[in-house]
Structure 1
């Protein structure tokens, strides 16, 4: 008891006055939050480079190994709203600090995994910690930083995420080349420990309103198995047979769960996903096209490592360096697109951005061969990223600008959920199409098979991503700017 009291006493003595009394205290808070944002973003992209190595190490198919990435992204999608709501009840500071600890433990368990199921379960645990970090980062900045510099502070946080996403493939490829795939998980431990200590010592105490917050537990219980069953059916349909009772049962069960989830959300007073917001056309189109944009990006990031390593026999370090082209192009284009959106509106930029991503993916598909021009492929990957960078800021801005001020938090949560679902669906859909076409052309998913079948399997998978990118561009043409979101303020949305 004395020890518990001592630990409790230390916790209540934090944050340390040596930091809170500084003139630059708010920027110390921003720096602490940026560490968490950077780590969570890195781990969303660092694993792509490792998938071929994991497939070889565990003697598993590409579709099965894809669950190392899908499990992480699905966990993020389902837990972001949960932890955002729990933070309102328990405080953002303790949940953010605890998120670092969970992330560290999950990362260490991933590095120590002795088989693929253990790795996938550890990734779920790791993603739970990442969700605690992502769900609270912007809210902590908003509550701490004065309005006069809040935009710049949130910009730093967004830059940390973009840089993490950009460096993930290069960091992953370098670590795998030097130390093996386990290093991409173990590297999180020392960084996470620094982040934990900084969060405990620096982040401000929460000012809880005392208002009782209701959480939609049944909505979470319905949505999570719906997503898992749907992704399992998509990724394993080729292995188990698309007409097998198991696969058909998964599709049927996921459909029933989706119907149940929609009815629950429409009837519950504090829904996990507020379906009434989808009556706003810009909000609906923006979230769906946003999902398609991240589906296209992660589809490309999933497919290309297998092509580079199985066909061109590049090592992980070279593959990671090449893949950096996509998020790098996105990072360079995004700030300029945000400024242009203020002048020209979102329709032109979102439409042209996704059209460029579709065109670049098409050129990438045509470039594939046993002896392609790697320079041309890098240029095409950069253009994929530039298109996404041109699309994303105006799309996000128009989505959030269409909402009443009282629903910005809920709308932001749905936007993040759509992004995570797009990443997971891009991985699952690309892996499924690749596996089907690969086997149809006499190839095998595991290492050591013939190189030729990997070309049509990658090409036809890219064709699907092209079609979905063009669909997003077409839908963006019908985007109507919300001149005045106050007309939605009359919606009965208070809980």
Structure 2
């Protein structure tokens, strides 16, 4: 892109010197990145509300309309690590700015779609834009923010995601009340315009890259189908049946693709994913605990609406309001956690965070009897507080353990761990509930008692996962600073 604009082009004269020379310039960059984080989170939480309306609009079944969400997730999961590698090779600034542009244009085209096929096509391009943003967001913050503020900065970015997740259901409901489903996509346009302009004007220059720009095409060709197969299995295995032909085909595709990918990466001189990153315990344990934490949260997000509506018999609107307690807790505590990490290191806030999250799941395990509403609200809030306290320092430790030349790939793997956690949470939450439901049918006589017991034991299982993540966090190496300064002032 820099070659297209020319050596002495306007692009090369950016960012605005009046801003970039300020002592707190990195906060302008963090604010710009937060717009992308907010937009992507808002879109993720708002689209699911549109599925019933889309089903009626296009006269299709639930199995077909689910692809509106699934095709987005599959595309995002398959490209995020690849875009991280490309950004490491050619620059993060142009990719992040272009990601805003792609996301905004495709959002407009999604809203203008006249049939399901067109909507699915533009959802793919929307996911491409989201992958370009997510593969670079944490990497840009890590590169430009001084180490004394970096935990706080990553916490603010996580808080922006939490705000997007919180506003999504309420905003989506309001839009569907007064407008039609198309405006759920059009709402991204003004946010995208602001983000695109700020990205071009404020993001720092790309650091001069190495002359070696070999891209691992074979690694990409092996990794993409393996990720698509795995994410599809995690999201559709329970619905379609674990022995259905499509699920078995995806399992085989994922296994063969991953085996070929590992073989290729060990042989390649410039691999797509450098396995040396996993030799660092902070990187490895950070991603493992990241998977566990999102598994817990999304299992709870899957099960709790069913409990609220089937046991407590409240309206869908009330159920949605209760569920906003989780992102509310995350939003409030992510900046605080980042500041704690900057002052005391990584281990303290990650241990505190997983302690809160585990306690929240434990409280949820006692719902269904006396004080159900109190336990439900307290449990969801503690889970949100725990996730908000745990995530920023954990992300900090992962990014801080990667060399500057691999920040994009590290950020892609970090986001991939989150995606896997989401898939595992949905899959295992459903599987454990079904397992405990079957076991309890032999003990309880009424259907409601069976359901309550199944919910309880599943929440207790999530508590055990939280304790496992807590133990891993407690045994991690303590650091006074989350990570070193890489190249502050030299670009990203």
TM class, shorter-chain normalised?
Answer: 0.7 to 0.9
Closer/same/farther in 2, CA of residues 18 and 203 from structure 1, 3 Å limit: closer
CA distance in structure 2 between the partners assigned to 1:50 and 1:368 by the alignment? 31
State the partner residue of 2:231. Answer: 231
State the partner residue of 2:10. Answer: 13
- 2:479 maps to 1:479: no
Q: Check whether the contact 2:49–2:169 (CA below 8 A) recurs between aligned residues.
A: yes
- 2:183 maps to 1:183: yes
Q: Secondary structure at the match of 1:129?
A: helix
Q: How does 1:168-179 map to 2 (within 5 A)?
A: 168-179=168-179
State the partner residue of 1:276. Answer: 276
Q: Check whether the contact 1:235–1:432 (CA below 8 A) recurs between aligned residues.
A: no
Q: 1:469 aligns with which of 447, 466, 471?
A: 466
State the partner residue of 2:487. Answer: none
Once the two structures are TM-superposed, the CA of residue 317 in structure 1 deviates from its matched residue by 4.7
What do the CA deviations read for 1:38-84 (whole angstroms, capped 9, x no partner)? Answer: 212322333455567767887655x8766554543443343233223
State the partner residue of 1:491. Answer: none
State the partner residue of 1:445. Answer: none
State the partner residue of 2:420. Answer: 421
Q: How does 1:374-453 map to 2 (within 5 A)?
A: 374-403=373-402, 408-430=407-429
Closer/same/farther in 2, CA of residues 409 and 45 from structure 1, 3 Å limit: same
State the partner residue of 1:167. Answer: 167
Judge which range, 390-399 or 338-347, deviates more: 338-347
Closer/same/farther in 2, CA of residues 223 and 362 from structure 1, 3 Å limit: farther
Q: Check whether the contact 1:66–1:428 (CA below 8 A) recurs between aligned residues.
A: no
Closer/same/farther in 2, CA of residues 81 and 308 from structure 1, 3 Å limit: same
Equivalences, count: 470
Once the two structures are TM-superposed, the CA of residue 386 in structure 1 deviates from its matched residue by 1.4
State the partner residue of 1:124. Answer: 124
Closer/same/farther in 2, CA of residues 338 and 64 from structure 1, 3 Å limit: farther
Q: Secondary structure at the match of 1:46?
A: helix
- C-alpha root-mean-square deviation of aligned residues, in Å? 4.4
CA distance in structure 1 between the partners assigned to 2:150 and 2:346 by the alignment? 23
Q: Check whether the contact 1:49–1:320 (CA below 8 A) recurs between aligned residues.
A: no
- 2:101 maps to 1:108: no
Once the two structures are TM-superposed, the CA of residue 221 in structure 1 deviates from its matched residue by 2.2
Q: How does 1:32-51 map to 2 (within 5 A)?
A: 32-47=32-47
Runs of 5+ in structure 2 lacking a partner?
Answer: 442-446, 484-492
CA distance in structure 2 between the partners assigned to 1:417 and 1:163 by the alignment? 21
Q: Secondary structure at the match of 1:34?
A: helix
Once the two structures are TM-superposed, the CA of residue 210 in structure 1 deviates from its matched residue by 6.3
Closer/same/farther in 2, CA of residues 434 and 120 from structure 1, 3 Å limit: farther
CA distance in structure 2 between the partners assigned to 1:216 and 1:151 by the alignment? 32
Closer/same/farther in 2, CA of residues 192 and 395 from structure 1, 3 Å limit: closer
Q: TM-score, normalised by structure 2?
A: 0.76
Q: Check whether the contact 2:346–2:479 (CA below 8 A) recurs between aligned residues.
A: no
State the partner residue of 2:356. Answer: 356
Q: Check whether the contact 1:48–1:305 (CA below 8 A) recurs between aligned residues.
A: no
Q: Check whether the contact 2:154–2:396 (CA below 8 A) recurs between aligned residues.
A: no
CA distance in structure 2 between the partners assigned to 1:261 and 1:405 by the alignment? 24
CA distance in structure 2 between the partners assigned to 1:116 and 1:469 by the alignment? 40
Q: Secondary structure at the match of 1:367?
A: coil
Judge which range, 140-149 or 235-244, deviates more: 140-149
Q: Check whether the contact 1:173–1:318 (CA below 8 A) recurs between aligned residues.
A: no
Closer/same/farther in 2, CA of residues 355 and 309 from structure 1, 3 Å limit: same
Once the two structures are TM-superposed, the CA of residue 297 in structure 1 deviates from its matched residue by 1.6
Once the two structures are TM-superposed, the CA of residue 264 in structure 1 deviates from its matched residue by 1.9
Once the two structures are TM-superposed, the CA of residue 352 in structure 1 deviates from its matched residue by 4.7
Once the two structures are TM-superposed, the CA of residue 308 in structure 1 deviates from its matched residue by 4.5
Q: Check whether the contact 1:176–1:182 (CA below 8 A) recurs between aligned residues.
A: no
CA distance in structure 2 between the partners assigned to 1:55 and 1:314 by the alignment? 24
Q: Check whether the contact 1:16–1:201 (CA below 8 A) recurs between aligned residues.
A: no
Judge which range, 456-465 or 317-326, deviates more: 456-465
Q: Secondary structure at the match of 1:272?
A: coil
Judge which range, 140-149 or 356-365, deviates more: 140-149
State the partner residue of 2:265. Answer: 265
Could you say which structure has the greater relative contact order, defined with CA pairs below 8 angstroms and 6 or more residues apart? 2
Runs of 5+ in structure 1 lacking a partner?
Answer: 1-6, 443-449, 487-495
CA distance in structure 1 between the partners assigned to 2:351 and 2:138 by the alignment? 28
Closer/same/farther in 2, CA of residues 221 and 18 from structure 1, 3 Å limit: closer
CA distance in structure 2 between the partners assigned to 1:456 and 1:73 by the alignment? 32
Q: Check whether the contact 1:43–1:168 (CA below 8 A) recurs between aligned residues.
A: yes
